[in-house]
Amino acid sequence: MARAGRCWALRLHELYPGDVGVVIALLLNDVHLEPGEALYLPPRRLHAYVQGVGIEIMASSDNVLRGGLTPKNVNVDELIRVLDFAPWRVEPIVPRQVGVESFYDTPAPEFRLSRIELDAAAPWRTDDRRGPEIVLCTRGQASLVDARGAARELRQGGSIFVPFSSGSYVIEGHGQFFRATVGL
């Protein structure tokens, strides 16, 4: 960790010269996730993505505060007031697979995230809608067809908001899709 931290500090210093966030980053847990793994971060925890691609989902909030490493506003006094500085162990979440859908189970009641892996042979159908959803395509392409027969195309990098009033829907195609839903 110490050696990796120094390497990150040098790289972050190049990207954000003079930013105190470089030093703060050295105090954070250095967590490496394998493809398909996830983290759950409870409220009031400072975090930073340093490398790679991640899907982030969070509860509705108007209190996002930044600690550095950004050209956006940083309110240090408010950040220090709300942060939880207690030590905690960061444990990766390995998804629970049910058919072609893998669920990232967390204690958050506000949302639920799952990953759907499809080949072109069989479509995927919803059976557990609780509210509005967002479907994001990270690989491949598909059609999303709702209960009324309305079809929308979904390609890599694109997303579709699915109102609850659309009823159940089917994804026909191939690729990797993330589904953000209302929690349990």
Active site residues: 66
Residue type present at position 157: G
- Residue corresponding to tokens 């026909």: 172
Give the C-alpha distances (Å, rounded to integers) separating 173 from 102, 103, 143: 18, 20, 6
**Per-residue three-class SS string for 5-55:** HHHHHHHHHHHCCCCCHHHHHHHCCCCCCCCCCECCCCCCCCCCCCCCCCC
